[in-house]
Amino acid sequence: MSNALVFLVETLVGLFGLVLLLRFYLQLARAPYRNPVSQFIAAVTDFAVIPARRVVPGLWGADLATLLLAWLVQILELVLVLQLKGYAVGSAAGMAVLAISMLAAVKLVKLSVYILMVAVLIQAVLSWVNPHTPLAPVLDALTRPFLRPIQRRLPLLGGVDLSPLFLLIACQLALMLPVAWLEGAVVSLF
């Protein structure tokens, strides 16, 4: 029974955290708002983001309220999962709070890399199947800051842009090396 509850918590709370993080990145990238994806994300998260913006100001065009909410949702997910698995904090409550907070931040970084990877993959597939889909400007806004530097250095080979492949390799390496190391270091604090 506890495995099913852990699955539900990770799925439902995790999806809400993902949607909050997507909202943060879409606003940061200045992605077009007039498309079904952006409007869905706004509709799902407005109930939490709008009140949070009254308390947490933005900084240099970044919606810090949304990012803070995503981090807090990750913390909530970790706390609920640890509770369901029977983790007892005991006398090390301060260290546990610090470790959970840091692990939530690492999970946001990891989730951010996965968002970029999925956006690149979807954009690559759609460029071959349906390049004029309403989702194309959103994906372009998310991936452009990462793909453009690679495209400047890497010429087209036979008319094919290989920059998404190089970006996916870089994302995988980032997940394997610094992100995995950070996650391992934080988990060892428990």
Nearest CA among 63, 65, 70 for reference residue 21: 70
Query: Would you say residue 90 has pLDDT above 80?
Result: no
Would you say 134 and 147 are in contact if contact means Cβ atoms under 8 Å apart?
no
What SS3 state is found at 131? coil
Mean of per-residue pLDDT scores for the chain: 90
State pTM to two decimals: 0.90
Domains of the chain by residue range: 2-187
Query: Would you say residue 183 has pLDDT above 80?
Result: yes
pLDDT tens track for 137-157: 999 999 999 999 999 998 888
